């Protein structure tokens, strides 16, 4: 039976028939790899995800982590699955050989992780966070920090966290107040509270490596005065063994709507519960230079945000496959044109309205997967493409697409989860079926790693205007190249290309109109609508790419790709027309609304 987590057939299509990732092995970094190794890790990921992660997805949701004032406890299956995961070595997929990694392309690593996110996003979050943490230390840490902290994480023995948010500072990280006092020996002592920290405490790994944003006293106010520190739960001796308990403790757990298997904590640094070296204060080590902490975080943001989009996609995808199976099995009613009460009831997939909901899900989740894999390949291109010019072009396009790669799947794959519930009718609203949990789990994705509204400000306020509009020009150029191929192919592809051309022209015109008056407040007031409209245009582009990759190929799989493309162009892309009209009118309704009028 085919998997209900992801479609391997679709992954193979996207990776090999569209993105042609096997050609990456021509680059020196990936020379040891080829289709054989890529397939082997994808097979392994699918198997371990099915056997070790999926079976306890519900149990981890029903029995959320507990805290008795001393210890955080989770159901034992979480640790068993993570130990099995560590044994596969998959956590090391994208890392360099010299830190114990497999040096696989990011696009393949992303596809392997997606299996775990589809199977059990709560358990999958521990390695996911650890990968982000290790990447940040690799990029900005000292060789000693890399040797001490990164290797055990790549081996899956220690897990990592990202400690940015504070109770009073979420979106506005420039307002964090955790302070880091220097000690004469090069170390620091940290004092403050960090809110919402995923994986903040547990006994799933031997040690926990916190990456913490804090201010060194006397630093400038705002973003320019924030530094990054590595703060281990247990201090590490010179020989790598674990030493004293550091002064970082759980103040409480957050009880969440979904993602419950990932323990979420309020952490206190330096409250004096532990006194390493005989004094209170969490021992921390500065990463890179002082006051560059937020810049370092932003450096890693592209990959982390594309990863969040990947998680949203995986949850949407599994919900789609489960509702598809349900629609084929559940019988209800008869065709509208033949109401013979003695005729057997038909499977609900026979009803056009159910097919509408399935097609919408297919268009969202397969479109989102294309977007995520495309962006992951841009990460590879930005690091390993042959020429400097190609690397820079890939980086610019990735930068521009990142807010969309984070937000579009978070919005539309959540909508896919809602449709999956709808297809299950009343059963979908119960905890006996999986789809309600997928919806609750996915509801996080428009919130963390920069909310939907913050991504919108990033796209319209920074990305499309940066370097004199170079980001938008690069995106339009990439889309234009696809349209050129569609025109060359003629027929239906050319018609789709013409529709896309008109939409891209509107993106350009609307962007100019928004920024024309030079009124920042007005331009950004409706940024979320802009993000959503441009997101739809981008995914329409990637559907045309898939349509072209399927050209001349027979079989139901390719027919499905063609029909989903038609759906996207007839039902989804036209939604952008009224959105662009609204934006172009420089509407002030939200801007002029007053607090007192609510």
Ligand X SMILES: Cc1cc2nc3c(=O)[nH]c(=O)nc-3n(C[C@H](O)[C@H](O)[C@H](O)COP(=O)(O)OP(=O)(O)OC[C@H]3O[C@@H](n4cnc5c(N)ncnc54)[C@H](O)[C@@H]3O)c2cc1C
Q: Using the rule CB under 6 A, which residue among 171, 177, 331, 332 binds ligand X?
A: 171
The residue among 319, 554, 286 whose CA lies nearest residue 424 is 319
For the CA atoms of 443, 295, 266, 207, the dihedral, rounded to the nearest 10 degrees, stands at 100
Is 331 within 8 Å of 347 (Cβ atoms)? yes
- Name which of 122 and 367 has its Cβ closer to ligand X: 122
Q: Does 256 bind ligand X (CB under 6 A)?
A: yes
Specify the residue, 153 or 197, whose C-beta has the smaller distance to ligand X. 197
Minimum distance from residue 137 beta carbon to ligand X (Å): 16
By CB under 6 A, the residues from 530 to 589 that bind ligand X are none
User: Is residue 591 a contact point for ligand X (CB under 6 A)?
Assistant: no
| 449 is an active site residue | yes
Show Cβ contacts of residue 500 under 8 Å, excluding neighbours closer than 6 positions: 479, 482, 483, 486, 537, 540, 541, 544, 573
Which of 7, 52, 103, 165: binder of ligand X (CB under 6 A)? 165
Does position 163 interact with ligand X (CB under 6 A)? The reply is: yes
Q: Which is nearer to ligand X, 170 or 261 (CB)?
A: 170
| Residue listed under structure tokens 């960090």 | 194
Least distance in angstroms from the C-beta of 132 to ligand X: 9
Q: Can you say how many angstroms the Cα of residue 594 is from the centroid of all Cα atoms in its chain?
A: 35
Instruction: Specify the DSSP class assigned to residue 345.
Output: P
Give the residue with the Cβ less far from ligand X, 173 or 493. Answer: 173
> Is 198 near ligand X (CB under 6 A)?
yes
Q: Which residues contact 172 (CB under 8 A, 6 or more apart)?
A: none
Exposure pattern of 95-128 as b/e (b: 16+ CB <10 Å)?
Answer: beeebbbbbbbbbbbbbbbbbbbbbbbbbbbbbb
Phi, psi dihedral angles at 259 (to 5 degrees): 50, 35
| Closer of 166 and 247 to ligand X (Cβ) | 166
SS3 486: helix
Q: According to the binding rule CB under 6 A, does residue 164 interact with ligand X?
A: yes
Output the smallest distance, CB 166 to ligand X, in A.
8
Q: Give the up-direction half-sphere exposure of residue 147: CA atoms within 13 A in the CB hemisphere.
A: 8
Mask for 113-152, x = binds ligand X (CB under 6 A): ----------------------------------------
Distance of alpha carbon 321 from alpha carbon 350, whole angstroms: 16
Q: How is 95-115 classified by DSSP, letter by letter? A: S-GGGT-----HHHHHHHHHH
Catalytic site residue from 303, 366, 449, 532: 449
State in angstroms the smallest separation of the CB of 143 from ligand X: 26
- In angstroms, give the least distance from the CB of 163 to ligand X: 6
For the bound state, the minimum distance from the C-beta of residue 169 to ligand X, rounded and expressed in Å, comes to 7
Number of residues that bind ligand X (CB under 6 A): 20
Tell me the residue nearest to ligand X as measured from the CB: 170
Q: How far is the CB of 184 from ligand X (least distance, A)?
A: 30
Handedness of CA 499, 500, 505, 509 (dihedral sign): positive
Residue 337, phi then psi, degrees to nearest 5: -90, 0
Contact track, ligand X, 438-467, x by CB under 6 A: ------x--xxx-x-xx-------------
Nearer to ligand X among residue 199 and residue 497 (C-beta): 199
Shortest separation between residue 117's beta carbon and ligand X, angstroms: 15
Kindly indicate which of the ranges 25-33, 156-164, 309-317, 353-361 contains the residues binding ligand X, using the contact rule CB under 6 A. Answer: 156-164
Which listed range, 157-165, 338-346, 401-409, 460-468, lies at the site for ligand X (CB under 6 A)? 157-165
Nearer to ligand X, 163 or 540 (CB): 163
First and final CA of the chain: distance in angstroms? 54
Nearer to ligand X, 321 or 459 (CB): 459
CA distances from 227 to 259, 305, 443 (A): 29, 21, 31
Give the binding range for ligand X (CB under 6 A) out of 105-113, 161-169, 358-366, 417-425. 161-169
At 440, which helix (H) or strand (E)?
helix 435-442
Instruction: Collect all residues with Cβ–Cβ distance below 8 Å to 223 and sequence separation of at least 6.
Output: 173, 174, 294
Active site residues: 449
Give the footprint of ligand X on this chain (CB under 6 A).
161-165, 170-171, 196-198, 256, 259, 264, 444, 447-449, 451, 453-454
């Amino acid at each position: 039976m085919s998997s209900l987590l992801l479609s391997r057939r679709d992954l193979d299509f996207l990776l090999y028939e569209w993105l042609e990732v096997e050609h990456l092995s021509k680059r020196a970094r990936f020379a040891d790899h080829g289709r054989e190794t890529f397939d082997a890790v994808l097979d392994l990921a699918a198997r371990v995800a099915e056997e070790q992660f999926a079976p306890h997805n519900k149990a981890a949701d029903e029995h959320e982590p507990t805290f008795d004032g001393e210890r955080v406890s989770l159901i034992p299956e979480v640790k068993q699955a993570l130990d099995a995961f560590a044994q596969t070595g998959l956590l090391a997929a994208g890392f360099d050989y010299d830190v114990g990694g497999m040096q696989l392309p990011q696009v393949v690593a992303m596809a392997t992780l997606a299996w775990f996110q589809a199977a059990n996003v709560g358990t999958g979050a521990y390695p996911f966070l650890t990968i982000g943490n290790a990447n940040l230390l690799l990029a900005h840490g000292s060789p000693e920090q890399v040797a001490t902290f990164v290797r055990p994480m790549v081996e899956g023995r220690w897990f990592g966290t990202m400690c940015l948010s504070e109770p009073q500072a979420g979106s506005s990280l420039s307002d964090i107040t955790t302070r880091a006092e220097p000690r004469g020996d090069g170390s620091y002592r940290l004092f403050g509270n960090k809110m919402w920290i995923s994986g903040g405490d547990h006994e799933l790994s031997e040690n926990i490596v916190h990456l913490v944003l804090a201010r060194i006293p006397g630093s400038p106010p705002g973003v320019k005065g924030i530094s990054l520190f590595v703060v281990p739960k247990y201090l590490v001796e010179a020989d790598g063994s674990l030493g004293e308990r550091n002064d970082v403790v759980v103040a409480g757990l957050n009880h969440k709507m979904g993602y419950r298997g990932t323990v979420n904590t309020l952490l206190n640094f330096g409250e004096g519960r532990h006194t390493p070296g005989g004094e209170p204060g969490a021992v921390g080590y500065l990463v890179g230079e002082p006051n560059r902490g937020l810049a370092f975080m932003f450096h890693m943001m592209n990959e982390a945000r594309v990863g969040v989009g990947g998680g949203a996609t995986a949850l949407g995808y599994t919900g789609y496959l489960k509702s598809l199976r349900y629609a084929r099995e559940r019988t209800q009613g008869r065709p509208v044109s033949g109401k013979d009460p003695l005729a057997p009831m038909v499977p609900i997939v026979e009803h056009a309205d159910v097919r509408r909901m399935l097609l919408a899900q297919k268009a969202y989740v397969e479109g989102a997967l294309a977007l995520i894999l495309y962006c992951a390949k841009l990460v590879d291109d930005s690091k390993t493409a042959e020429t400097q010019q190609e690397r820079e072009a890939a980086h610019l396009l990735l930068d521009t697409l990142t807010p969309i790669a984070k937000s579009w799947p978070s919005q539309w794959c959540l909508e896919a989860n809602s449709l999956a519930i709808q297809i299950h009718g009343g059963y979908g609203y119960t905890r006996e079926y999986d789809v309600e949990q997928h919806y609750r789990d996915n509801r996080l994705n428009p919130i963390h790693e920069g909310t939907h509204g913050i991504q919108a400000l990033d796209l319209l306020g920074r990305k499309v205007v940066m370097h004199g509009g170079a980001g938008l020009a690069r995106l339009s150029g990439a889309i234009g190249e696809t349209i050129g191929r569609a025109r060359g192919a003629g027929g239906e592809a050319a018609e789709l290309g013409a529709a896309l051309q008109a939409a891209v022209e509107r993106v350009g015109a609307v962007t100019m109109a928004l920024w024309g008056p030079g009124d920042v407040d007005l331009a950004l007031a409706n940024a979320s609508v802009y993000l959503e409209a441009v997101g739809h245009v981008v995914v329409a582009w990637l559907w045309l790419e898939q349509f072209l990759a399927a050209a001349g190929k027979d079989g139901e799989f390719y027919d499905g790709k063609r029909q989903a493309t038609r759906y996207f162009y007839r039902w989804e892309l036209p939604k952008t027309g009224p959105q662009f009209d609204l934006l172009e009118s420089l509407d002030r309704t939200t801007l002029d609304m007053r607090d007192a009028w609510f």
